[in-house]
Amino acid sequence: MEIDVKKQDENEMVFIVRDAEVPFVNAIRRTAMMQVPKLAIEDVFIIKNDSAMFDEVLAHRLGLTPLVSDLESIEGLVMPEECDCDAEAGEYCPRCSVSFYLSAVGDGEGTTKVVYSGDLTCDDSRIKPVYDTIPLLKLKDNQEVELEAVAKLGIGKEHAKWVPTTVCAYKQYPEITFNLSENIDFAAADACPRGVLVANKEDECIEINDIENCSLCKACIRAQQASGSNYVNVGYRENDFIFKIETDGSMPPKEVLLKACDVLDKKADEFITFSKGGSK
């Protein structure tokens, strides 16, 4: 198997995987979405909420606020089920939880004050919301809000708030060929919504521009069918894939990928041990 990284920045990564099978690539996709731990607010204690927003809605908004969860920031934190404190009984310990506080008062001048994610404060300087400008609620006049929110590590399988990716998808590598014995129909190129096919009327041919941008939609094939032409053929390579990971900013996509591979590796080891007659 071969991996070729085409693009990588702090929120997005695109890479080509060659010589792989669909079940393997799909296992990476599912694990990256559902099994990579990240931080999210789990419990909210509302001390005061004079705003028009219901407590439950406010708690839901806080839960979906992305928190910084890269490996360096969450170092030392463990999953709640791996901690020896009794969270069920309302115990919170610094090994498995991080507390945020929010305290705000309206401006009292007939104006509306917007409370943002950046107004949340945390004892741990490494942990904070990824974006400071997510509106949480509005306060009128002298309305007040005061709360404590407890964030914990979790996985996307349990709740969408712990899914680190906003996009995690792959497609098979497109393959476009031309049947030169057929009549050319430039309608095929004109129908391409992504500009992958470009009509070159001077040289009487259709050219390919960035084949990796092809979505395999086959609009080109349908367009040429009107004239009975089979000049353009669109297919894909069975074992080559274009994989894209985009995160909500809580952790870099490379970390999501590496952690997903670790989790998958561990599961494979457990399965081998189990199939050999050992216990998990």
Query: What does the binding site for ligand SF4 look like in residue numbers (CB under 6 A)?
Result: 176, 191-192, 194, 196-197, 214-220, 234
In terms of CB distance, is 144 or 182 closer to ligand SF4? Answer: 182
Exposed e or buried b for every residue in 266-279, given b needs 16+ CB within 10 A? Answer: eeeeeeeeeeeeee
| Least distance (Å) between residue 17 CB and ligand SF4 | 20
Exposed e or buried b for every residue in 72-83, given b needs 16+ CB within 10 A? Answer: ebbeebbebeeb
**H-helix or E-strand spanning residue 178:** strand 165-178
In terms of CB distance, is 244 or 259 closer to ligand SF4? Answer: 244
* Closest to 167 in 3D by CA, of 238, 239, 241, 249: 249
In terms of CB distance, is 51 or 224 closer to ligand SF4? Answer: 224
| Least distance (Å) between residue 37 CB and ligand SF4 | 37
In terms of CB distance, is 192 or 257 closer to ligand SF4? Answer: 192
| Least distance (Å) between residue 211 CB and ligand SF4 | 8
| Least distance (Å) between residue 231 CB and ligand SF4 | 12
Q: Which residues contact residue 175 at a Cβ distance below 8 angstroms, ignoring those fewer than 6 apart?
A: 211, 234, 235, 236, 237
Q: Which residues contact residue 59 at a Cβ distance below 8 angstroms, ignoring those fewer than 6 apart?
A: 41, 44, 46, 149
In terms of CB distance, is 196 or 263 closer to ligand SF4? Answer: 196
Would you call 163 exposed, middle or buried from its count of C-beta atoms within 10 A (0-12, 13-18, 19+)? buried
| Least distance (Å) between residue 175 CB and ligand SF4 | 10
SS3 63: helix
In terms of CB distance, is 209 or 273 closer to ligand SF4? Answer: 209
Q: Are strands 12-18 and 38-49 parallel, antiparallel or unpaired?
A: unpaired
| Least distance (Å) between residue 28 CB and ligand SF4 | 25
